[in-house]
Amino acid sequence: MKHFEEPDADVPLIAFAGLTAAVAAVLLAPLDRRRASIDRHVACEQMVYRDHAAEGGTQ
């Protein structure tokens, strides 16, 4: 009588988790770029305000 081993059930689960992570990364990438752009814009405005205040000006 032959004994058959059960296939490793974790392999499809790991593959599915990897695929899900890859899809999420692709879908969320535009949001990360948008947030980075907003962060740079805010930082630039803060530097302009700080430089203007250092020169004794008011807004």
Domain range enclosing 50:
29-59
Handedness of CA 48, 54, 57, 59 (dihedral sign): positive
Q: What is the CA radius of gyration of the chain?
A: 26
- Cα distances from 13 to residues 4, 8, 10, 21, 26, in angstroms, run 21, 10, 5, 12, 20
In tens digits, what is the pLDDT along the chain, a chain of 59 residues? 566 666 666 778 888 999 999 999 888 888 777 888 888 888 888 888 888 888 876 54
Residue 53 lies in a domain: yes
In a domain, 41, yes or no: yes
Q: Is residue 46 a part of any domain in this protein? A: yes
Residue 50 falls inside a structural domain:
yes
Position 5 scores a pLDDT of: 65
Sign of CA dihedral 40, 45, 49, 51: positive
Residue 52 lies in a domain: yes
User: Does the predicted TM-score (pTM) go above 0.85?
Assistant: no
What is the count of structural domains for the chain? 1
Q: How far apart are CA 32 and CA 30, in angstroms?
A: 5
- The pLDDT score that the predictor gives to residue 20 is 94
